[in-house]
């Protein structure tokens, strides 16, 4: 993240993905803590890694590289809708609408044609994807409860919803 006269610039990460991935989890843009740590869902209060650890059988406290490898080995990929935006802080609602640049999903889905499902990890990711992205790939889409600590639904409720979606 760098500062510009119009606000802090957020540049997203490369996707976590391997050939054969079948499901893509899409966030909106990395948080301040994620950017500092250079990790998807890097806020320790974010429920993404604890949920996926329960569903995939890995240790949520393992080093990031091990968690990412376990997730990808299970056929999951992670990316964000936005390649670039300006946003003070970490809240999706603070993203400057005119600054949003989407990732290249057409190329991504062409490179990883095994992806069948896209799960949005919150409402902003879904709204911005639908507004900014046009792809020809036949995909199934579903929004999941946000794993963000700002989304005050209980961990158990989030886990149950994610489990049901992944089994569907």
Average pLDDT over residues 127-140: 91
pLDDT of 133 higher than 50 = yes
Q: 10 Å Cβ neighbour count for 78?
A: 22
Angle at 163 between CA 151 and CA 44, to 5 degrees: 45
What integer best gives the mean pLDDT of the chain?
91
**pLDDT exceeding 70 applies to what percent of the chain?**
93
Pairing of strands 23-27, 7-11: unpaired
Range of 157's domain?
2-167
Q: 10 Å Cβ neighbour count for 161?
A: 15
- In whole angstroms, give the CA distance from residue 63 to residue 40: 13
Q: Output the pTM of the full model.
A: 0.91
Longest dimension (CA), the chain: 46
CATH of the domain at 115: 3.40.470.10
SS (H, E, C) 27-89: ECCCCHHHHHHCCCCCCCCCCHHHHHHHHHCCCCCCCHHHHHHHHHHCCEEEEECEEEEECCC
- In whole angstroms, give the CA distance from residue 71 to residue 55: 10
pLDDT of 165 higher than 50 = yes
pLDDT of 118 higher than 90 = yes
The torsion region of residue 57 among left (phi > 0), alpha (psi -120 to 50) and beta comes to: left
The pLDDT tens digits for 52-109 are 999 999 999 999 999 999 999 999 999 999 999 887 776 677 678 888 889 999 999 9
What confidence score (pLDDT) does residue 163 get? 97
pLDDT of 4 higher than 60 = no
State how far Cα 7 lies from the chain centre. 22
Per the CB < 8 A criterion, the answer to whether 121 and 27 are in contact is: yes
Helix (H, G, I), strand (E, B) or coil at 150: coil
Total domains present in the chain = 1
Confidence category of residue 2, pLDDT binned at 50, 70, 90: low
């Amino acid at each position: 993240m760098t500062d510009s006269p119009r606000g802090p610039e957020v540049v997203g990460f490369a996707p976590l993905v391997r050939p054969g991935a079948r499901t893509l989890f899409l966030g909106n843009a990395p948080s301040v803590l994620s950017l500092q740590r250079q990790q998807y869902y890097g806020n320790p209060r974010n429920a993404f890694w604890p949920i996926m650890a329960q569903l995939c059988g890995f240790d949520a406290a393992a080093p990031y590289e091990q968690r990412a490898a376990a997730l990808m080995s299970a056929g999951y990929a992670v990316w964000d809708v936005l390649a670039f935006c300006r946003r003070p802080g970490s809240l999706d609602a603070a993203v400057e609408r005119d600054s949003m640049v989407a990732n290249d999903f057409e190329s991504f889905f062409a490179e990883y044609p095994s992806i069948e499902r896209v799960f949005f990890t919150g409402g902003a990711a879904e709204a911005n994807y639908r507004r900014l992205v046009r792809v020809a790939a036949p995909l199934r889409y579903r929004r999941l409860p946000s794993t963000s600590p700002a989304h005050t639904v209980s961990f158990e409720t989030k886990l149950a919803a994610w489990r049901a979606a992944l089994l569907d």
